[in-house]
Amino acid sequence: MTKGKVYLVGAGPGDAKLITIKGLECIKKADVVVYDRLASPRLLRQMKPGARKIYVGKRTERHTMKQEDINKLLVELALEGHIVVRLKGGDPTVFGRVGEEAEELRRNGIEYEIVPGITSSIAVPAYAGIPVTHRNLASSFSVITGHENPEKLDKMIKWDKVTNATGTLVFMMGVAQIGHITAQLLKHGRPASTPVALIRWGTRAEQETLTGTLADIAETVAARDFKPPAVIVVGDVVGQRERLHWAEQMPLFGRRILVTRSRSQASELVDRIEELGGEPYEFPVIETVITEKDEQLEPIRQAFAKIESYDWVFFTSVNGVDYFFRHLEREGLDIRSLHRARIAAVGPATIEALKLRGIRSEAPPENFDAEGMIAAYGQHLLPGQRALLPRGDLARSWLPEALRERGLEVAELDTYETVLTGEDDEELLDLLHDDKIHAVTFTSSSTVRNLLAVLERMGEKNAAELLNRASIACIGPQTAKTAEEAGLNVDLLAEEATIEGLIRCLCDWKAASDRDNPNS
């Protein structure tokens, strides 16, 4: 059997987008990803279908797997012929024990590469508005481990040399030893007034910063029950935070928002959340596929055979546009076939999708739903006219029924199907149970039904109750109605049924929360 290869990859400090391009490429081609808790769960969504993921993370009071066993696991997986990624938080060469893993691989003749990552020692302070060097304050910095007991720290660290060796001292994973660290720095000459900052879960939604001085920071940490993991920064550069703390100023800072939209459509919502400082957690629960069943294709063929006879074509979604034109191409037709019909569309995204195909729709209705269409075009909808409705298999029946009541002849075409997707995701369940998902977004009724179905499939007995621990945000009234009928408490409803309307709603929610809890 051909041996595999191991990539020892730095995942960066936590924000999924801070991984390197090469690191991301390794994840995408891996057969197995061996990861710890400091690697963003979002990165695991980049794995190819069928790839395995193995959690070996360490926690303060419990080791899931000993380092020696991790080393052996990497060797075994490679000997089985797999492409393996060992995904480690930050940079693998900065207190990442990559040397031990690489040495074991070399001893066993396993090919490997070390892929550097952005180290938390500089990235986490940067997200808190603290540059580790500054022209007028610190021309050098040291990175020091703090993750050992005091006796071992004293053997490893020459405090008399380290204390004043550089302008800035960065201690990694030293929260539990903050009292001992500050005592040693004071003992060896650092002034008691020296500024200190602890940044917990830097670059993530949970990011929290605690500041003080060498004289009082240990007491403050104890009083606040400030828990690891955190980066400790000691030096005058900490004072820059007052002017440079940029991340906390962003509209959605500190909020992790679940995005349930299909992967093909989620990018706009995900990008906007990130642009505004939030942390999107993608968990697509629906996917759309083109209709292939004979019993559904036959009505489409019949409708297209007389397509030039229709007076109206109603599009109620971007998917409706996309799949209609796929079927149109299949039948050897193009937009000239619609020269006679008046084209109506709901919502700016649907209107834009038509524009991209060279079609300008009727003046848009004020309300972005089927009811808005009838209100806008009602006087032009006449008995005897023929209307074509290309849409999905789960579309509401309200619009065709309203058209028939006005005497129109209506052809409903199921041009695509909405199917349940979403792999089991233990990380998501953990986040929901730990109240670390702050808002759940729904952009259609099918995302509501399918998320509940997936959670129940994963063994959650009362999925609605679990989701209600977060704020429920819906894009429009129909989605909200479905959510409420399913037992969800709809906290946020976009005034305009668009992605941008949903984003504005989330920003208002965060701003209101900040006003109500100014010290949170």
Give catalytic residues, as residue numbers: 36, 58, 173
* Phi, then psi, of 183 in degrees rounded to 5: -60, -40
* Phi, then psi, of 294 in degrees rounded to 5: -60, -40
Give helix 318-330 / helix 294-305 axis angle, nearest 10°.
80
DSSP for 438-499, written as a single string: -EEEESSHHHHHHHHHHHHHTT-TTHHHHHTTSEEEESSHHHHHHHHHTT--EEEE-SSSSH
Token output for 209? 């910063």
CA distance 379 to 374: 9
Q: What share of the chain is helix, strand, coil (3-state, %, to 5)?
A: 40, 20, 40
H-assigned helices in 346-442: 348-355, 370-377, 398-405, 426-433
CA distance 102 to 8: 8
Which H or E run includes 280?
strand 279-282
Query: What number of other Cβ atoms are within 10 A of residue 367's Cβ?
Result: 18
Residue in the structure block whose two tokens are 């030893």: 177
* Phi, then psi, of 376 in degrees rounded to 5: -80, -40
Residues 6+ apart with CB under 8 A from 309: 340, 386
